[in-house]
A and B are shown apart, each in its own frame.
Chain A
């Protein structure tokens, strides 16, 4: 199954569970407080996910390494390489 398929199945499952519990017809209902709590749940989850995303990306952005030494090392390698290749007869 594709990722899209997995997402659709998951959403269908959760969606129908939520619909049954939160929007159920009379006779098959949970007590009112539970239904009232369940009703806005999808929106809450969406907002929670949004916050999680922002926090995660922000954290990862802040901890993104800058490779100062790698850059310096590379410059060194480049000079060594050019000198050595010139010695071996490469015409740049």
Chain B
């Protein structure tokens, strides 16, 4: 991989109450990028967290330098996923954008970054292929995940094996184009991005990722989530 070159990766990290996880995620990202000699920046978009996430982010900015860590705050109720990315992208100076969660559920790996050498417009992490997988999931959760994914594949035929994961790499122009076209909220928004991307003819590469269940904090998967997932899926089915 050409050292540096002209490529710069902007990592967008939307956060809400991630005081524990944030420094660890930043450390892992910084180390991964530094080891590969890649130019990067991390943009933290915090939704007015009451737990001191912003204070930790500011400390990190001092430690790593404000060309590497950028903190932006937005205050919004309900915090739909899309808004954070829109805000984040305004400040992104890289030509590749990495979107991931700040909760340590995505195992940062260099392989993921190298995959972009396949010249894909989008690289998406998948838990369902290769040696991708999960940790700490009981049978019920696995069943719901596989079941939901199966329904999604049948209805949407999206051309990607894992739609609800949110560990992705986009070319900046591609992400901007998709953000204009996508209207959903929450993780349905992630699904819509991939579906629209395929419609627009963008190439999508997949890399196996390990989804390690939250180290700190609580995960959210209840009846409400399932219902809203189905509603979102049907909306996508009817509108894309």
Partner of A66, one of B24, B135, B149: B135
| Interface of chain A residues 9 through 52 with chain B (CB within 8 A) | none
Task: Please name the residue on chain A nearest to B149 by beta carbon.
Answer: A60
| Interface of chain B residues 134 through 181 with chain A (CB within 8 A) | 134-137, 139, 142-143, 145-147, 149-150, 154-157
Q: How many residues of B contact A (CB 8 A)?
A: 41
Q: Is the CB of A78 within 8 A of B156?
A: no
A-B pair count, CB < 8 Å, reads 94
Task: Please name the residue on chain B nearest to A70 by beta carbon.
Answer: B210
Q: Is the CB of B23 within 8 A of A61?
A: no
How close is B135's CB to chain A, nearest CB, in angstroms? 4
Q: Which of B59, B63, B210 has the most chain A CB atoms inside 10 A of its CB?
A: B210
How close is B202's CB to chain A, nearest CB, in angstroms? 18
The verdict on B239 contacting chain A, using a C-beta distance below 8 Å, is yes
| The stretch of B73-81, B125-133, B183-191 that contacts the partner chain | B125-133
The verdict on B114 contacting chain A, using a C-beta distance below 8 Å, is no
Given contacts A61-B142, A78-B24, contact A70 B135 (CB under 8 A): yes
Interface residues, chain B, CB within 8 Å of chain A?
A: 23-24, 27-28, 56, 59-60, 62-63, 104, 107, 127-128, 131-137, 139, 142-143, 145-147, 149-150, 154-157, 210-212, 215, 236-240
For the complex with contacts A53-B154, A64-B128, A68-B135, 14 further pairs of A-B residues with Cβ separation under 8 Å are A4-B238, A60-B149, A61-B142, A67-B107, A74-B212, A77-B24, A78-B24, A78-B104, A81-B23, A81-B27, A82-B24, A85-B23, A90-B23, A90-B59
